[in-house]
Amino acid sequence: MRVAIVGIGLIGGSMALALKEQGFADTVIGVDENPVHQAQALTLKLVDQVLPLDQAIAASDLVILAIPVNAAEKILPHVLDLTDKQVIMDVGSTKEGLINCIANHPKRARFVATHPMWGTEYSGPQAAVTGAFRNKATVICNKEENDADALATVEAAYQAMGMHRVYMNAKDHDVHVAYVSHISHITSFALANTVLEKEKGEDAIFELASGGFESTVRLAKSNPDMWVPIFMQNKENVLDVLNEHIAQLRKFKSCLEKENYDYLKELIEQANGIRRILK
């Protein structure tokens, strides 16, 4: 299997490692506009060669779009134009806009929309992680719109990476990730800005920040070039969850202002219910 990965960063690089390690990919072709990333990917042996996009598509069996969602939306129609028997998949955090942009494309069925539920706050080829996807979930959206062989190829790729599959439609996916992923990043960005604004002593932050603070703001180190397009693509769902989050914060604020500590305890106990889901 010849696999072309467009975007040799955290996700693309980690997929390259996994697919080569498991023998799914005989050859991995890298595509990246950044010459530094090209050189790093070759040096780290994430890819076997680097080619321009059109040449990479022609030389591959499976094309993985591992680039920001706005960039994927721009190039996907062109990629499908060049597709013969190739299978195209993406790994973006939003799905409805991407699927809609090629809904009427004659080769629509060659594109499989996916979202592997893994990531870190780091970016670039050097962030690639061996075994990153093992025992994690991946979402495959609107599978009924795919050619059977295209879907089977993508399922086999994820099986090789050790992921279990979840199927849903694109609209539902975008709602769910707004609640379980996108709001976490907004909260982390906002908390980091709050601390940086109010706590001017960087040494104090470094010395006093506990594990809880560090884990909460870890996502604030994430790449804005990736997350701004995600928030743009999923704006309505993110606004909905953000309004609910703000309402919850106001409850905690009100408890402290009114010294209503019984209700404050009730809110915390209610939050403890997440233990039933996240053990």
All domains in the chain, ordered by first residue: 2-168 (3.40.50.720), 173-276 (1.10.3660.10)
Q: What is the chain's mean pLDDT, rounded?
A: 94
Predicted confidence (pLDDT) at residue 231 exceeds the cutoff of 90:
yes
pLDDT confidence of residue 12? 98
Q: Name the one residue in this structure whose structure tokens are 């134009």.
A: 81
Predicted confidence (pLDDT) at residue 269 exceeds the cutoff of 80:
yes
Predicted confidence (pLDDT) at residue 279 exceeds the cutoff of 90:
no
Predicted confidence (pLDDT) at residue 171 exceeds the cutoff of 80:
yes
pLDDT confidence of residue 275? 84
pLDDT confidence of residue 16? 98
- Kindly indicate the confidence band of residue 264, based on its pLDDT and cuts at 50, 70 and 90: very high
Which of 59-68, 161-170, 212-221 bottoms out in mean pLDDT, i.e. has the lowest? 212-221
Q: What pLDDT digit, counting tens, does each position of 34-49 carry?
A: 999 999 999 999 999 9
Give the residue-averaged pLDDT of 166-171: 97
Predicted confidence (pLDDT) at residue 107 exceeds the cutoff of 90:
yes
Q: Which residues contact 118 (CB under 8 A, 6 or more apart)?
A: 11, 14, 132, 133, 136
pLDDT confidence of residue 198? 73
pLDDT confidence of residue 194? 87
Give the residue-averaged pLDDT of 252-270: 96
Output the six-digit token pair for 7. 């975007």
Predicted confidence (pLDDT) at residue 202 exceeds the cutoff of 70:
no
Give the residue-averaged pLDDT of 131-154: 97
Give the residue-averaged pLDDT of 85-97: 97
Question: What count of other Cβ atoms lies within 10 Å of the Cβ of residue 257?
Answer: 8
pLDDT confidence of residue 206? 64
Q: How far apart are the first and last CA of the chain?
A: 38
